[in-house]
Amino acid sequence: MAKPHQMVYLVLGMAILIAVAPSISYGAISSPFKKSKDRSTAEASTRGASSAVFPLSGDVYPNGLYYVTMNIGNPAKPYYLDVDTGSDLTWLQCDAPCERCSKVPHPLYRPTKQKLVPCSDPICSALAQCDAAQCDYQVQYADQGSSLGVLVSDAFTLRLTNSSTVRPTLAFGCGYYQQLANPNAPAPTDGVLGLGGGKVSIMSQLKDQGVTRNVVGHCLGRNGGGFLFFGDDLVPYSKVTWAPLSLRHKNYSPGSASLYFGGKSLGVKQMDVVFDSGSSYTYFPSQAYQALVSAVKSDIGDKLKVASDDPSLPLCWKGQKPFKSLSDVKKYFKSVVLSFVNGKKSMLEIPPDNYLVVTKYGNACLGILNGSEIGLKDLSVFGDITLQDLMVVYDNENGQIGWIKTACDRLPNADSEGAGFGLDGLCRDILNEDCNIYSALFG
């Protein structure tokens, strides 16, 4: 879902699910599906919950997203899914048949008649008001992208940290009508992996089937890649900075925060914050954005000049010669700090590496944008750029969200086919005493 400017950046989060009747004006087609039997329980439901770990691909710049390979169906086929903690529904562009789809990396998912989720299924009730033989959906995103389709269910192949492989049957969207910013351009992914806390989320379904606990986390590599995990086997609870999940938002929010730059207050308090891996960049409401830009410009002075001819992002700077990497430019900038107004007084430091990008033009651009200009009002959305080289944990079991600094690219022995991988790099860095539980994954 590309936004304006030539750089591709996403705002998948804050998705809105809408009940769709078969007569909706755009895209509801006559489906060949009939009611299916209730979805089967996972093979691992009696084995006790475990965890699954997946390598990530992508980056903030120039790709503008991080995605994971998921193996779906029987026989299992790979699909690239955009990792989105800002929405609940997982969906694939789908041949049902497809009325409006873009070119995707893999052949379109093609469901069979037996895969349709019936109206009587509780997962459909949580998604929409259904009065037909099929469970239709429409999901819209903050960047005006959308997907319209029907809910289906199929097997997801997951390799767990207890060395077993399970194939739970999970419900997801079969999207046959997509509204994309540039529908003629090839899409980098086959769909979206919705990891929010709602009933239709993959995480909630895995929890209900006893496969994993309702804990999801990611570690987005600053130089690209990283990893995603389901379950809590990897979480170093005592080392993580925790904040209680705010009940004011349905999205993952650590609550309100005060804003600082270079150790000085910017006079912005009660900033509502949401973490959203489906957004490439970070968005501040207008007051906070203007205060930050003013402070940054004042601090830089005449050390750098504004690069008004760089179309990548709204605010860029240039030096005496083109910048080659962030190491060339970060010395000119200071850290942004968020102090959260909650019982634990949690703090999140955003170093220059986590709010700047060096573009192909050799300029340094601010990766914090004015969210009020795209309708986010008073909400602050922390996207991929700010979440880089942090292990971020969304703990729905205990109602908290946490983060810890780590190098997210230190994960050898990756299984690029999407089943999971060994974690010896992570063990060396932050898990230490818990590493014995992963020994079965190596080799």
User: Does residue 64 surpass a pLDDT of 70?
Assistant: yes
Comparing 382 with 422, the larger pLDDT belongs to: 382
The pTM score is 0.85
pLDDT band (50, 70, 90) for residue 223:
very high
DSSP class of residue 5 equals S
Distance CA 373, CA 239 (A): 37
User: Does residue 26 surpass a pLDDT of 50?
Assistant: no
Query: Which CA distances in Å does 280 have to 51, 54, 83, 350, 420?
Result: 26, 20, 11, 15, 24
Distance CA 246, CA 158 (A): 31
pLDDT band (50, 70, 90) for residue 244:
very high
The mean predicted confidence, pLDDT, of the chain is 83
pLDDT band (50, 70, 90) for residue 216:
very high
Residues 145-159 have pLDDT tens digits of 899 999 999 999 999
Strand, helix or coil for residue 84: strand
Q: In this structure, are strands 364-366 and 368-370 parallel, antiparallel, or unpaired?
A: unpaired
User: Does residue 413 surpass a pLDDT of 80?
Assistant: no
Strand, helix or coil for residue 330: helix
Residues with a known catalytic role: 84, 276
What's the angle, vertex CA 414, arms to CA 410 and CA 416, rounded to 5? Answer: 135
Distance CA 430, CA 406 (A): 8
pLDDT band (50, 70, 90) for residue 414:
very low
User: Does residue 435 surpass a pLDDT of 50?
Assistant: no
Strand, helix or coil for residue 430: helix
Query: Which CA distances in Å does 367 have to 243, 250, 278?
Result: 24, 25, 15
Contacts by 410-415, CB closer than 8 A, 24 or more apart: 411/55, 411/226, 411/227, 413/441, 413/442, 413/443, 414/55, 415/55, 415/159
What's the angle, vertex CA 251, arms to CA 245 and CA 253, rounded to 5? Answer: 35
Residues 82-115 have pLDDT tens digits of 999 999 999 999 999 999 999 999 999 999 889 9
C-alpha neighbours within 13 Å on the C-beta side of residue 255: 21
User: Does residue 132 surpass a pLDDT of 70?
Assistant: yes
Residues 248-301 have pLDDT tens digits of 888 999 999 999 999 999 999 999 999 999 999 999 999 999 999 999 999 999
